[in-house]
Structures are given as C-alpha cells and as structure tokens.
Structure 1
C-alpha cells in the first residue's frame, strides 16, 4: 500500500525523534552531585535571581532534583519532545537557559518592531509638516528626519551576547 505524504512526514518525525533520544548529553555520566545543590552554593546564583527579579520575573527556585515540566502542563499534553534527555534539576536549568534565550529574542523583536512603527509614524508626521513649512523649519525637519534615519539604521543591527556553552551532545 502506498503511503500518503502525511504518513511519510510522520515516519520522518518519528525517526528524527528516536535519533534525538539516542543522543545523550556528553557530560551526563560525570554528573554526580545534583545541580540544585551546586546552584545553592554558587556565588552567581543570587545574580541570576536578581536579574530575573529586576525584569519582573519571579526567580525559579532550584530546591530539589525533580524533572522539568511546563508551568501550564500544555507542553506535556501536546506530546512535544522539549524534555527529551532533560532530567532532574540540571535538565530544568538547561531547558530554562534555552527558553530564556528564545523569549529574550522574541521580546527584542517585538520591541524593535514597535520602535520602527513609531518612527515611521513620526516620519510621516514630519513629511506632512515639511510640505507647508518655511525654509528654516524645513531644515530643522530635515535634521530630525536624518536623526530618525540613523536610528532606523541602528535598529537594523543584530546584537551578540557571549554565553558559556551549557549543552554538549555526544556527536558535537
């Protein structure tokens, strides 16, 4: 019997999931002390918690070695592979790092689009004013438009942040 494209796709995803599950964290066999105990004594733990607090996010507490789970439970219901090979408090920390980075990237994009939209609105307003302005006022408007153009150029840039490597797979 011939498979449908959906069946081929489902089989492909199953093979990919099984291959991902087979890959192990290269450091897992060396990890003896539970992460939550190490975290409690690490001098940077309070800096981590303070950074989240300043951002208005209740800091996660690493008080035990339970496995990662979503706050709403929806991830587990959906059958997603987000927690494959992530066990214990170290698994929670690894998941948190990846998702905080994703969240920061998404929020940065939203802020960027907001600022661009507001700049476009201001440019439109200035162009309307320039049509009816005196030569001196047009010069001021042109300077303002040049400044807005420079800001848009800065918003076109990407920001890089250096992070310590936190995940190493067997075949990396």
Structure 2
C-alpha cells in the first residue's frame, strides 16, 4: 500500500534528524577546544556583540562555561530535550542563539510591518474621506497619497541579510 503524504513527510523528517545526529557526533572529534574558551576576554563588554545588546537594553549573553543550551533555557528538561539537540555544549548554545535571534528578528519585523501597513492604510482612508474640493488641498492630498503608496510598496519587499556560514555537517 502506498504511503500518505504525512507518512512520507514523517519518514523524511526522521531520516533528516538521524542524519543530523550522526553528523553532529562526527563533529565532536573536529571541535575539541570548547567554544567559550576561544572568545576574547572582553567580548561581553567591549565588542559589537555586546554593544548590540546594550543598545536594545538587554543583557549580553555570557559564555563562561561549556554547558549547553539545556542548562540555560527556561524550558523544562522534557521540552528542552524535544526542542534542542542536547550535549552540544557552548558551541551548540551559540548556534541555537543565532537561530533564535534570527527568528526573533524575523517575527518582530513582521509585527512592525503589519503595524506600519495598518497605519498607512488608515492615512490613505482619511485622505479618501476628506474634502478635496479645494485644488491646493487636493494637490497636497494626492502628493501625500502617492508618498504613502510608495511606502506600502517598500513594505511589500523582503530584506535579505547575510551572515557568515555557521552550520556545518560531517
């Protein structure tokens, strides 16, 4: 009997997870020096990394041990085991942090985009509902409407950010 799409997808995910697990085990022999030991001594106070967190009013994450993300997360041990590949130490924690910060930035960008669209559309609706009988008022309103529509076009675009590659497989 043929497999359903859900069964094929489940099998694919299991194969992918197993492949990643095997790859991560083979990487243990490659990355021998603990990641936290390779950071500059002042990375958490005098670096662009620290400056970025200070600028937005958040404490800079500190890497002062080789414990993995499971020791630093607010999730319970069971849910952490489901979410994270455990025993990846400080390097795995840094990799998870990169992924989480990317996802947080993407989600925040979505909310800001949605807010700006709503506000711009409200201003366009105000222009449409306004009295445009005076030629000078009509010209200013049309100019403003064109500006607002250009903003909406900008919000339709996607932004691509580039990072150095940080993920490797065996």
Aligned to 1:48: 49
User: Looking at both structures, which has the greater relative contact order when contacts are Cα pairs under 8 Å and sequence separation is at least 6?
Assistant: 1
| TM-score calculated relative to the size of structure 2 | 0.81
1:5-47 superposed Cα distances (whole Å, 9 cap, x missing partner): 7x94796354443333223277542222211111143769721
Give 1:63 shift.
0.7
- Name 1:62's counterpart in structure 2: 63
SS in 1 for 2:54: helix
Match of 1:141 in 2: 141
**Conserved 8 A contact 2:54-2:60:** yes
Matches within 5 A, 1:5-154: 8=7, 12=11, 13-24=13-24, 27-41=27-41, 46-69=47-70, 71-74=73-76, 76-77=78-79, 79-80=81-82, 82-84=83-85, 87-129=88-130, 131-154=131-154
Q: Specify whether residues 167 and 10 from structure 1 end up closer, same or farther in structure 2 by C-alpha distance, changes over 3 A only.
A: closer
Change in CA separation of 1:86 and 1:110 when aligned onto 2, cut-off 3 Å: farther
Change (3 A) 1:155 1:138: same
Q: Give ranges in structure 2 of 5+ residues lacking alignment.
A: none
* Structure 2 counterpart SS, 1:36: helix
Measured in 1, the distance between the counterparts of 2:77 and 2:124 equals 43
SS in 1 for 2:166: coil
Secondary structure of the residue that 1:160 maps to in structure 2? coil
Q: What RMSD in Å do the two structures reach over aligned CA positions?
A: 3.0
User: Hey, what's the Cα distance between the residues in 1 that align with 2:89 and 2:168?
Assistant: 17
